[in-house]
Amino acid sequence: MSATILDVGHITCRFGGLLANDDISLSVQEGEIVGLIGPNGAGKSTLFNIVAGAVSPTSGSVSFLGRDVTALRPSGRCRLGLSRTFQVMRSFNSMNTLENVIVGALACGEGARQARRNAYEVLDFVGLTRRAEVPASELTPAEKRRLEVARALATRPKLLLLDEVMSGLTPSEARAGMDLIVRIREAGISILLVEHVMEIVAPLVDRAIVLNLGRILTQGAPADVLKDERVVSAYLGEEYHA
């Protein structure tokens, strides 16, 4: 049995009178791809930010590799091996592609020489080697998505949090993105991803977790989740009704 790499326990998060997350518990096992899905307002982004350390929960805990990291800042979690991408791409447009990835490596404490070497390896992995010297501002949307993933990979994560990395991509670009995610898992990195495109989530993840109004509605194998009447009616629409 695989070891638990991430354990989220009874997370509740309030913003004033708004209950964003209500007693949420979930886990990610080593080598697993877990999809977090649900409509706007379901609480996905809040939970994702709590796991990443960008938001502090009102109550509950986050454990990573058996260590309580609830009070640890994002930089500290990064050094332990927990890294993330952002739905809104955050590349430094004044820098080229290589320099952007070097920044990611430096953020988690690598020396300049090792960071540069690591950046080249990551660019090769995501297929951006030939674009290394191109300003980030000149990359295509699909390339910018890969750059976002590359910067996270440059931190050498054990768990990668992916925030809608398929957003805005064409079908062929999304398929290439799916292939990249599979290769990331094959490299020994566990993945927790937020994604709205069900055609992507279903064949890609080992488990799907559906949030609704800040709580877990259901979770399980994607094929089973897609057949759940509550999921079909609330999130996926009649086109998914088997």
Answer whether residue 136 is part of any domain: yes
pLDDT at position 234: 67
Answer whether residue 240 is part of any domain: no
Sheet architecture: strand order including 67-68? 18-29, 4-15, 59-64, 67-68
Answer whether residue 12 is part of any domain: yes
Domain count, the chain: 2
Shared domain for 66 and 163, answered yes or no, is yes
Answer whether residue 174 is part of any domain: no
CA distance 77 to 69: 7
Answer whether residue 29 is part of any domain: yes
Shared domain for 4 and 70, answered yes or no, is yes
pLDDT at position 193: 94
Answer whether residue 59 is part of any domain: yes
Please give the backbone phi and psi of residue 74, each rounded to the nearest 5 degrees, phi first: -55, -40
Helix pair angle (171-186, 141-153), 10° resolution: 10
Answer whether residue 147 is part of any domain: yes
Shared domain for 57 and 12, answered yes or no, is yes
Whole-model pTM over 0.85: yes
Three-state DSSP class for 126?
Answer: helix
Q: Give pLDDT tens digits for 3-34.
A: 999 999 999 999 999 999 999 999 999 999 99
Partnered with residue 131 across adjacent β-strands are: none
Selection from 196, 173, 219, 179 nearest residue 34 by Cα: 219
Q: Give pLDDT tens digits for 198-241.
A: 777 888 999 999 998 899 999 999 989 888 888 877 665 544 44
Q: Give pLDDT tens digits for 70-111.
A: 999 998 999 999 999 875 556 677 899 999 999 888 877 778
Shared domain for 151 and 163, answered yes or no, is no
Domain with residue 66: its CATH number is 3.40.50.300
Shared domain for 112 and 222, answered yes or no, is no
Burial of 117 (0-12, 13-18, 19+ CB in 10 A): middle
CA atoms within 13 A on the CB side of 127: 14
Domain boundaries, position 20 = 1-81+158-167+180-235
Mean pLDDT (the chain, rounded): 90
